[in-house]
Homo-oligomer: A and B are copies of this chain.
Amino acid sequence: MNQSKRFLDIVTDIRDMIRREKIKPGNRIPSERELAEKLQVGRSTLREALRSLELLGLIETRRGEGTFLSDHRNHQLVEVLSTFILQDTQSQEDVWQTRLIHEISAIRTICQNSKLASLKVWDSFRNRLNENESLYREDFVRELMVLSGNRLSLKIWFLLQQYSGNPYQEPVTEDEKEMLLPLLAALEQQDMSSAIDLFKTWSSWLQKGRMQNGNDTRDL
């Protein structure tokens, strides 16, 4: 059963660690030797995971200095692309809706792929919810997008996500557990319609909160 690739586990382990230790973009993460020791893996295996993350643009390495979480918010390309796509889109509602389109489509794909049903990711998320570990909303949804397997959709989603206000950049609250735990269950059982309904419920719950705050679109 456990023929899963080690380096993929390490990728998620590292991500978990980053969240747990609250490492922020630009911060340094432990050295390769340190991480290898902590995760009980060889350094070369660990490096395979790190190099993958680097190719994805999630981390930066500087020889002699260390490895750093890359600040994707400063990515120039993101700026260029977004101004291109979002030029004259005044409607925040459209951004929200379009992002939702991609998310729900991802859920559809996931529920149709039986290989994705029995994945340790679900357990991981469930634990983090039950354990009251800090879990960022964005991290959960991004995982869905990644699992869907459509990289382009993932990229579009990522852009939209940055323009959807900030609810995604905050941890899940106590109230949301009641929606997310059933959602995890539905995903595991490949119950597509339930999963979509639950996700929509969560999403509109988030949107409601966003409207009240409304201090969005602050930076950029």
Interface residues of A (CB under 8 A from B): 3, 5, 7-8, 11, 44, 47-49, 51-52, 54-57, 61, 63, 77, 84-89, 91, 94-95, 97-98, 101-102, 104-105, 149-153, 155-156, 159
Contacts and interface: CB of A to CB of B under 8 A. Distances in A.
Given A49-B51, A55-B56, A156 B94 contact: no
A28 B155 CA distance: 29
Contact of A84 (B55, B94, B97): B55
A198 to B, nearest CB: 18
Nearest to A60: B85
Contacts of A7: 51
Contacts of A149: 57
Q: Interface SS of chain A: helix, strand, loop or mixed? A: helix
A146 to B, nearest CB: 10
A86 to B, nearest CB: 5
A98 B57 contact: no
B152 A95 contact: yes
